[in-house]
Structure formats: structure tokens, C-alpha cells
Structure 1
Amino acid sequence: MRLAELVQSRPDPLWTLMKQCGVDDAVVLLDGAEQEMRWLRAVGAPPPTFTDERPWGEAAITAHQERLADHGLTMAAIEDTPPLDAVRLGGPQRDEQISHVIEQVRAMGRLGVPVLCYNWMAVTSWARTDVAVRIRGGALSTGYTRAGDLALPPVVEPGSITEDQLWDGLAYFLDAVVPEAEQAGVRLALHPDDPPRAESRGVPRIIRSVEAFRRVLDLHPSPANAVTLCQGNVALMSDDLPAVIRELGRREAIAFVHFRDVRGTADDFVETFHDDGQTDLAACVEAYAEIGFDGPLRPDHVPTLAGEDNHRPGYATMGRLFALGYIKALRQVAYGR
């Protein structure tokens, strides 16, 4: 298990703090690419500063690798892609967008970056209806309620996007990109929909169950067609997360892990400190050890603690450091190191 942490595209104090915690592997977003723009850029942040108009291209990824290396860090995964909505929705620009992903995958192969995390959430990203829920000790966390979601205006005309449309787009994507990923030695790691609901704000969500993961793996069987096991989402799909880890592990399908926990159901939940959720996380790490998982794993969606601002909910610093220590202890017990 390669304990990693998500970093932004320019150095900040976390780069030093994670090294001080004994973490050498970084998961990155790409300055100005789809996910960095959709969900990690802080409220009020300036426009992207990249100079390469193709942040997913080899020159931009190389520059990012070099910045990390200057801090003693290795790029273990990329959690970002070019825009993909034309592919997800079967639009006229889908082949152009796929060509950009292939460019990224080939560059990652040449640069030795083994995992590309992507998602199939069209138009939107992960959904929360509250980003300042008070949990233990007054820490601030994120939460979701179905009632709160329904109170928000739809982002598309309801019914204008269908589940079949999204599944067809995903199959088309896998047929085009998996062979390229195989050749490059890169694993495509599909992230589940967050939350795992049938729809959010008028947009269907198809990667919302363990059965959906099985269907994806069967669409194009290959070591390059894998999943990101985001524990907070899968814990809302199944009441036996370690069993899911073992099942997907037997298929050698887990390329990347988001290690987090929640309390509640897919219709009403709050994200928790790692030691205060509804899941037996020690049993999860034991399951990863049992299947021989040796890929990147990072803490995800941590609370904002006293003295920190909440301008980037789920990604403040002190909660991440708490999570890193907690996960390192679980790993030492399960893996013996």
C-alpha cells in the first residue's frame, strides 16, 4: 500500500508537511483541467496559471513531476483529465476529447505515472448540500440530504440526459482508451458517483452500486480497466465494505483507493473523522493486505479543524495530517510495516 496525499499543482505547505509525516507519493490534479476547475479550486481563487494550453500534455505533466521531485515527492497518480462531457453524453466532440485523453495516457506511460483516476459524473461533480456541518469538537464537515438536493435548481432539463446515454458513452470511451492504456502501462481507475444516487439536479448517476462496477469491468476486461475504490461512496452502497474489497481484489480491479468514512445513508449522510464513521476501517485495511493491494491510497474528505478556514471544504490541512497518522497505524498492523 502506497500511502499518498492529494496536492495542488503549485507547492504549498502541505508538500512539506506530508514529507514530515513520511509520505512520499503525491496524487495530483492538473492546473486548469476538468477536475481541478470543477471541485478543488477554492472559492475566490484566481484563474489557472498554467502556461501550457494542454495541461494534460507531456510538457505540463513533466513540469509538475519536476516540481514534486524538487520536494522529494513522486507522482503516484493523476486524478484529473481533459474535459470529458462530450464523451459522457455522446456529443459531436467526443472523438476530439478522447484524443486528448489518449495524449495524456501516452504521456503518463512515458513518464512512469501508473494510475489515471477519472469519473463519469456528467456536467457536475461530487454533490453536497452542506459544507459546514458541525461534528466532533465543533469541526466542520460536509453533508448531503436528498431533500436538500431536490430543493436546488436542476443544472439540466430533467430527462434530457439518460442512463443509456451515459452507459453508451462509457463503453465507447473504454473501447477507445483501454487498448492505449494497456500499451502505455497505465491503469484507468473509475471513481464512483458521489453520492451514489440515481440522479442529482436532473443528471443521472450510473456508477452508483457495486453491480455497476461489475458491469464496467465486464465491458472491457483488462488490467487497464480498473476502479478507484472510494470508501465513503462504497460504504453507502454496501453494508460490508471489506467483502467488496475482497471481491474486487480477486478480480485485481482496484487500482487506487480513496480512504474515508461517513455516517448515514445515500439519501442523508455526513462525512466523519476517519476514526468516527460507521465502517470498520481496520477490517478494510486487513482486506487490502489480504488481496495484496500495493497501489496508491490517500485520505479523502477530511473535516476542517479549529483555526482553519473552510474555503476548501473536505481538503483543509490538519484533518489530513490526522488521517495520515491514523492510516499509517492501520497499515502497520495489517501489513506489518
Structure 2
Amino acid sequence: MERTWRWFGKKDKITLAQLKQIGVEGIVTALHDVPLGEVWTREKIHELKEYIESYGMKWSVVESLPVVETLKYGGPDRDHQIEVYKESLRNLGEEGIKCICYNFMPVLDWARTDLAHDNPNGANNLYMNWGEFAYFDIYILQREGAREDWAEFSKEHKWGRDLVAEADEIKKTSTPEQDHALVENIVIKTQGFVSGNFSEGDSAPVQKFRDLLKLYDGIDKKKLQENMKYWLEAIMPICDEYDINMCVHPDDPPYPVFGLPRIIGRAEDIQWMLDAVPNKHNGLTFCAGSFSAGEHNDCVAMA
């Protein structure tokens, strides 16, 4: 067991000196300044690795080496981007960094509606309000079929909540400022930072989000699985050469969202992945938080 901590680079308010002070041994981080789809050079990897080591810790886990959208929907430049990914893996392997957390979630990485939800004890945390999420989809994104999807979602999950009705109620009182905050939390601050698809300066992020969703027209769960298998099989020789473990992060939340398929959210999904590419370097990030957000998952049994 190694005590590791997620650190978001030199701009993180939490410093490496502070992490060392509380007993952290390993750092979980990424090259957040490298544009999406470009090679992580050995020079950049080495510089950050040395910086971490100067504080008496090690770079234990990469989270994430982003999987660009074209790899997920099978775009025309897929094979080129596979070569880019392989080169980044080689450079990480040359620097002795051998644990890579990644995800294969289309367009949207982890989803929350509030990034600083206040608690009675004065602390705050990330928060997911399903009614607000449905409101974003139906009224802000205005996705075709959203109302029907959320009606079906409400029936399927037996939470005793009508999420369409909740969205309609939010519509009655929501202000432009509140709508802007939802766009920031669901699209800009999370997806821009994690996936690189968005940035703070985007003038029309909602339209950009719609355009990304269109890339997945006709992509169902089976096709997304095929694309994941194709990519994993292509990179496994590099992982074998450098003893790099690829550890997929489960879908967060573990449900289809915005009409997009999700393929790593259930026990049977994990079994499919392990069987599809039976290599010891093809593995899982067992995020109990993500798995347990789905009532279909028994985390103890899965473990």
C-alpha cells in the first residue's frame, strides 16, 4: 500500500511541500499543460518527475494520459492518434512511470452539478443534483430526446423522483446566472480541465458540446466497446515492453448520459474488458466511489 495524492500541477493551491508534510509518498498527476492529442515528451515528463522527487516523493500514477475523442468514436485520424499515445507511453516508460489511469467515457468525463457544495460542518465537496443535470440537458443543451430519456431514467431507477418534473420546476425560477454556473460546472471547469475539449475562453461552450455529441451519432455500446478493444490491442505491445499497467477508471456516474453509451460501469463491463484484451497490463482503477453511485453495483462482491 502506498499513500498517494492527486496533485494538479504547479498551479495547484495545495503544494508538494504540504503533501509531504502530511505523509504523502506518491503523487498522482499529469502534464496538464500539454495540448490534447500531442505527445508527452520525455523532457517534460523528466522535468515534472524531478520536481516531485525534489520534495522527497515519487510520481506514482499518471491520471490521466487523455484518450482523445477520435479514439473513442473511431475517427479518420484514429491510427495517427494511437501512434501519438504510444510515443507518450514510451516516454513515460523510459522515465520509469508505469501506472496509467485513463477513462473511455465519450465527451463527458466525471459529471457534477456543484463543485463546492456546502456542508453543515463548514466543509464543501463535489455534488451531483440529478434534477439540475436533467434541467441542463433538457433546457440548456436542448438535446433532442432528452425529455424522453430522463422520463425513462426516472422509471428505471426507482428513486421515487420524477426528474423531468424537477427540471420543469427548476426552469420556472432559474436565472441566467444559475444557468451559467451549471454550464461552468458541467462543461467548462470539469471537461476543460480533465479532457482538454474546452477552455475558459470558449465563447459558445454549449454549442461546442452539441458538436462533440454529434460525433457519436450511430455509436452504441457495442461499437464503443469495439473501439476500446482496438485501441487497447494497439498499445499493449508498448505496455509489455515497458511493464506499464493501463488502469481504466470506471464511468462516473455509472449511467449513460446525454444519449451517450457508457461501457465501464458494471461488473459485467469489467469482465468484458478483461476478457476482450487478456493481457496482464490491461487493468482497472477500482474507484469504489464511482461504482457505488450505481445501485446496480455491489462493490464488496465486485472487489
The reply to whether TM is greater than 0.5 is yes
Aligned residue among 202, 210, 214 for 2:267: 210
Distance 1:159 1:92, change over 3 A: closer
Aligned residue among 236, 247, 253 for 1:189: 247
Distance 1:227 1:33, change over 3 A: farther
Partner of 2:173: none
Post-superposition shift, 1:136? 4.1
- CA distance in 2 between counterparts of 1:108 and 1:159 reads 34
Q: What letter is aligned with 2:223?
A: Q
- CA distance in 1 between counterparts of 2:238 and 2:56 reads 30
Post-superposition shift, 1:76? 0.5
Question: In angstroms, what is the RMSD of aligned CA positions?
Answer: 2.2
8 Å CA contact retained: 1:9, 1:31: yes
- CA distance in 1 between counterparts of 2:220 and 2:299 reads 29
The number of residues matched between the two structures is 227
Q: What letter is aligned with 1:190?
A: V
8 Å CA contact retained: 1:55, 1:61: no
Q: What letter is aligned with 2:288?
A: Q
Q: What letter is aligned with 2:9?
A: S
**Which has more strand, going by share of residues?**
1
Aligned residue among 137, 151, 170 for 2:135: 151
- 1:223-246 deviations in whole A, cap 9, x for unaligned? 10001111101223456423322x
What SS class does the counterpart of residue 121 from structure 2 fall into?
Answer: helix
Post-superposition shift, 1:96? 1.2
8 Å CA contact retained: 1:116, 1:187: yes
- CA distance in 2 between counterparts of 1:224 and 1:136 reads 43
Distance 1:202 1:240, change over 3 A: closer
- 1:127-184 deviations in whole A, cap 9, x for unaligned? 1123333334132222224332222214324854322221111010111011211111
Matched, 1:233 2:290: yes
8 Å CA contact retained: 1:109, 1:184: yes
Which consecutive residues of structure 2, in runs of 5 or more, have no partner in the other structure?
144-209
Q: What letter is aligned with 1:10?
A: K
Post-superposition shift, 1:83? 4.7
* TM-score normalised by the chain length of structure 2: 0.69
Partner of 2:5: 5
Post-superposition shift, 1:72? 1.4
- CA distance in 2 between counterparts of 1:99 and 1:21 reads 39
* TM-score normalised by the chain length of structure 1: 0.62
Q: What letter is aligned with 1:210?
A: A
Partner of 1:15: 16
Matched, 1:168 2:169: no
Distance 1:160 1:30, change over 3 A: same
- CA distance in 2 between counterparts of 1:104 and 1:90 reads 20
Q: How does 1:19-34 map to 2 (within 5 A)?
A: 19-33=20-34
- 1:201-239 deviations in whole A, cap 9, x for unaligned? 232222111110111011111110001111101223456
- CA distance in 2 between counterparts of 1:80 and 1:6 reads 11
- CA distance in 2 between counterparts of 1:144 and 1:11 reads 26
- CA distance in 2 between counterparts of 1:7 and 1:96 reads 30
- CA distance in 1 between counterparts of 2:130 and 2:69 reads 24
8 Å CA contact retained: 2:28, 2:59: yes
- 1:243-302 deviations in whole A, cap 9, x for unaligned? 322xxxxxxxxxxxxxxxxxxxxxxxxxxxxxxxxxxxxxxxxxxxxxxxxxxxxxxxxx
Partner of 2:107: 123
Partner of 2:191: none
Q: What letter is aligned with 1:226?
A: G
What SS class does the counterpart of residue 117 from structure 1 fall into?
Answer: strand
Matched, 1:242 2:300: yes
Aligned residue among 41, 46, 52 for 1:57: 41
Deviates more, 1:188-197 or 1:66-75: 66-75
Partner of 1:277: none
Aligned residue among 89, 102, 112 for 2:73: 89
What SS class does the counterpart of residue 9 from structure 1 fall into?
Answer: coil
The structure with more radius of gyration:
2
What SS class does the counterpart of residue 5 from structure 1 fall into?
Answer: strand
- CA distance in 2 between counterparts of 1:187 and 1:228 reads 10
